[in-house]
Chain A
Amino acid sequence: MSTSAPLKSRVLACAASALVVAGIAACAPPEKKDSGAQTQSGVKAAEATSAQDFGGMDGLVKAAKSEGELNVIALPPDWANYGAIIKAFSDKYGIKVTSAQPDASSQDEINAANQQKGRSSAPDVFDLGQSVALANTAMFAPYKVATFDSIPAAYKDPNGTWVNDYGGFMSIGFDAAKVPPVTNVNDLLKPEYKGKVALNGDPTQAGAAFSGVVMVALSQGGSADDIAPGVEFFGKLKQAGNFLPVDPTPATIESGQTPVVIDWNYTNSSETKKLPSWTVFVPPNNPVAGYYYQAVSKEAPHPAAARLWEEFLYSDEGQNLYAQGGVRPVRADAMTSDGTLNAEVAKALPTVSGPVTVLTPQQTEAASKYLSEHWAAAVG
């Protein structure tokens, strides 16, 4: 990503960007023929909709082991504990996990699946933000994990085309050593926070920033249907000189360039491990939750391993691993009632009192439209 490469290579690089992706795809060996192997019950692995189609879990494990590999994409190791989850899965089943582009966006996942279609390097499974997931359901293979029934109906497609895997609350992270504690969204307008409040990305592009605007909107009297007060608040923040238009990263947080960051509680709390004075505040009255969408790719080069990965993620073990990353696993309620959720980990998850807001796809669409028209004017 060198920006100041000499001109010739820059022009080349610029013009070549589209092709590079195609080039990478072209380098990968063609898909192995055995991926369409039939399972014991005579169903193709790529069309199996539950472990029964493999003759039960043992059959699925055997089929996955014979594929021996799994491609995941856009799973940062410090995000929702994915580093540990990938390792646990790989150790348990002896399957080699290739984690491509850990920092990619949801849309990048879909782009990669399209560009590498039919190659052994194509992603097997997706972990997507809401709008990207719902716009691409045609690319998912329906699959119901063994624990499908204990997932609340609001968090899954009835056929298992997609299932929410984990969620979090929008939060305000701040460095207690540098700024006074934030106890309320309105605090951010105070002069003590001049030039210090950052949002994780541009809300017209990044899902996390988008939810940040929704959270602020709720605190300002808006609703899931009306995010205008949120945009207005950021306008005021900008006028007060408090808005810091820097994309926060672990580097900017640790070096003190972004002392206050609006982001998911789990990304913020993973910073606390590196910077102990980093405090996470979830506005308790109008919490905004967002769930990620898990799905198996229809074109998965390792269809059995992809399904085994889903089984692992939704098993008690996988869900507890998620919880250790500070996210709320989708089966949290069921697991709390039957006592399988690790109590110590559960205690560390944020508690909220008010009703939790999760935007419906229609509300998300209306809000994105509003943002693309008004955001730039508010903070520009």
Chain B
Amino acid sequence: MRRVRDGLPLLPFFAVVVVFLIIPTVTVVVSSVYVDGVFSLERVAALFTGTALSALLNSVLLSASTALLGALLGAVMAWLIVSSPPTSMVRRTVLSLCSVLAQFGGVALAFAFLATVGLNGVLTLWIQQATGWNLAGSGWLYGLGGLILVYTYFQIPLMVIVFIPALEGLREQWREAAVSLGASTWAYWREVAIPLLTPAFLGSVLLLFANAFAAYATAAALVSQGSPILPLLIRASLVSEVVLGQSGFAYALALEMIVVVAIVMAAYNLLVRRSARWLA
């Protein structure tokens, strides 16, 4: 009885989870294997054709590379921020900036890049006038290369936000203990800090991976020809005015995305559990 009463305040949350997570997931799973009420693996089989496989590969490549780039650069930046005292004005400014930039995605971000380094971007034209060199080249911004750059732009600040608590968890006493036992700075990092931070770092990489994997609006605004990544391929299957009757394929693609994100989230949970032991 008491457990029921304790659980009551969670009901609204539970309702939200059911409506916005469980029902859609079940809908996607069921719709991708039931075609007109009959069980069929035809839609799932379509995932193993050229277009779908290359979209999956590109999506994974994009998410993995921006996660690694974002995590490495973000970790260095987080370390620099943590090195300054908590009262420092610079630290507080950079942290607020990171919170804003980590959310600055979508059409606005894509347009900002188009207008700066696109084929007719301000910076492109300026450099071309000054040096004759074409920064935008053959239009790399409008493909996978551009997506990597633009995604990294919001991955770095997200990394800073999620990694700073881990860095703050490193106690000064541990360093002092190591030094008093004769460790050099290098040895301290190699033997103490890095092993401690590794689970948190890898966890953040996975978080960033999922963040990039599910992002849609930025890519939609930046890439207008073709559907190189999964979210864009889903859009094409759902709204195309030219090639019709692809909505079932969209369900199968959504299922594929759920599977990938589920794997990543499971790995993330394992890592967080490990690092929580030390940095609690």
Contact = CB atoms under 8 A, between A and B. Distances in A.
Nearest to A195: B119
A5 B227 CA distance: 22
Nearest to A129: B241
B64 interface: no
Given A4-B215, A204-B240, A18 B225 contact: no
A106 B243 CA distance: 12
B25 to A, nearest CB: 5
Contacts, number: 174
A18 B111 CA distance: 27
B23, B226, B254, B258 pick with most chain A CB within 10 angstroms: B226
A204 B236 contact: yes
Interface string B2-31: 000000000000000001110111011001
B201 interface: no
**6 closest cross-chain pairs (CB), A and B:** A4-B105, A195-B119, A3-B105, A247-B224, A19-B24, A1-B217
Interface in A100-114: 105-108, 111
Contacts of A368: 242-243
A91 to B, nearest CB: 32
Contacts of A6: 102-103, 158, 211
Interface of A: 1-7, 10-19, 22-23, 105-108, 111, 129, 131-132, 135, 194-196, 198-199, 201-207, 210, 241, 243-247, 251-252, 255-259, 368, 371-372, 375-376, 379-380
Contacts of B218: 3-4
Contact of B244 (A7, A135, A256): A135
Nearest to B208: A7
Contacts of A257: 114-115, 118, 120-121
A17 B237 CA distance: 14
Contacts of B240: 105, 107, 204-205
A368 B265 CA distance: 39
Contact of A10 (B139, B211, B243): B211
Nearest to B244: A135
A131 B102 contact: no
Nearest to B157: A4
